[in-house]
Amino acid sequence: MRLVIALPFLWLGVFFLLPLVLVLGLSLGTNAPDLAPPVELGVSFASFRLLFTDDLYLAAWLSSLRIAATSTLVTLLLGYPMAYAIARAQPRRRPMLLMLVVLPFWTSFLIRVYAWMGLLAENGILNQVLRATGLVADPGTILGTEWAVHLGIVYAYLPFMVLPLYVTLEKLDWSLLEAASDLGARPLAAFLTVTLPLSLPGIVAGCLLVFIPAVGEFVIPDLLGGTRTLMIGKVLWDEFFTNSDWPLASAVAICLLALLVGPILIFQRHQERSLERI
């Protein structure tokens, strides 16, 4: 049994924890473009200072959090009724309905984001439809704006919201809703006072599953957001690959980690508790 624990523990220790420690170490180093790797080890907080004082970086932090938060909210608003509908559907239809939600997830993430590029381009389908139906005279281009990034995040992460919501809603004792109705609650009141509170675990799980990775998203802002959209994942990438400033990129990673360690711990405890209840 000890081996069973030790093997994955060791693997994760070496390939997950240790690298993070290295990042921490590197973030305290200084940029040395002439060396290979381009780092001079030491203890310097210059990178961190830059991150917290430079307007550009601050703006990137804020916009990342903002975009991730709004996208998570929209995903919740769309995902909740979907999960509810599946949970209320006839039991024999549910597996198929779920599969239809999950199938896009099993298709390449990259390709799904790419698909939106065509849709949202200047002469893309969306604009063609808008112009043809006369809804909007001059739609402008959505591609290359924050709208596109929001759309992309909602699109890519929707299955991550629907699944945990469905799991929670499916376990709901529907006779509780009947009891609420029996006690005089109108449908909306019953939903707000019974269904919603009891589906909170699913909401928390879904939101964390979307928000945490969305903050550090790279592909979506890169392909759909254009130059005007600032997200911290992109900043990290650019610092590392374009500017070859490894300490700065490491500092970004550490800050991102620090920002998300709280939500990650919440998520982990939440997972444990939900499994206990089973």
CA-CA-CA-CA torsion sign (151, 104, 92, 272): negative
- Subset of residues 244 to 263 that bind another protein, contact rule: CB under 8 A: 249-250, 253, 256-257, 260, 263
CB of 195 to another protein, least distance (A): 9
Between residues 20 and 59, which has the closer beta carbon with respect to another protein? 20
Between residues 21 and 137, which has the closer beta carbon with respect to another protein? 21
Q: Does 129 bind another protein (CB under 8 A)?
A: no
Between residues 51 and 101, which has the closer beta carbon with respect to another protein? 101
Q: Which two tokens stand for residue 3?
A: 């081996």
Q: Does 43 bind another protein (CB under 8 A)?
A: no
CB of 142 to another protein, least distance (A): 13
Stretch that binds another protein, among 48-56, 131-139, 208-216 (CB under 8 A): 208-216
Stretch that binds another protein, among 43-51, 55-63, 99-107, 134-142 (CB under 8 A): 99-107
Q: Does 213 bind another protein (CB under 8 A)?
A: yes
- Subset of residues 3 to 42 that bind another protein, contact rule: CB under 8 A: 4-5, 7-9, 11-13, 15-20, 22-23, 26, 37
Applying CB under 8 A, among 208, 221, 225, 245 the residue interacting with another protein is 208
Neighbours of 240 (CB within 10 A): 16
Between residues 22 and 136, which has the closer beta carbon with respect to another protein? 22
Q: Does 203 bind another protein (CB under 8 A)?
A: no
Binding mask 159-178 for another protein (x = CB under 8 A): ---x----------x-xx-x
Task: Tell me the angle at which helices 109-120 and 146-170 cross, rounded to the nearest 10 degrees.
Answer: 130
CB of 233 to another protein, least distance (A): 5
Between residues 79 and 146, which has the closer beta carbon with respect to another protein? 79
Applying CB under 8 A, among 65, 130, 237, 244 the residue interacting with another protein is 237
Helix H, strand E, coil C: the string for the chain is CHHHHHHHHHHHHHHHHHHHHHHHHHHCCEECCCCCCCEECCCCCHHHHHHHHCHHHHHHHHHHHHHHHHHHHHHHHHHHHHHHHHHHCCCCCHHHHHHHHHHHHHCCHHHHHHHHHHHHCCCCHHHHHHHHHCCCCCCCCCCCCHHHHHHHHHHHHHHHHHHHHHHHHHCCCCHHHHHHHHCCCCHHHHHHHHHHHHCHHHHHHHHHHHHHHHHCCCHHHHHHHCCCCCCHHHHHHHHHHHCCCHHHHHHHHHHHHHHHHHHHHHHHHHHHHHHHHC
Nearest one of 196, 198, 191 to 173, comparing CA atoms:
198
Applying CB under 8 A, among 58, 107, 136, 243 the residue interacting with another protein is 107
Between residues 46 and 270, which has the closer beta carbon with respect to another protein? 270
CB of 150 to another protein, least distance (A): 13
Q: Does 181 bind another protein (CB under 8 A)?
A: yes
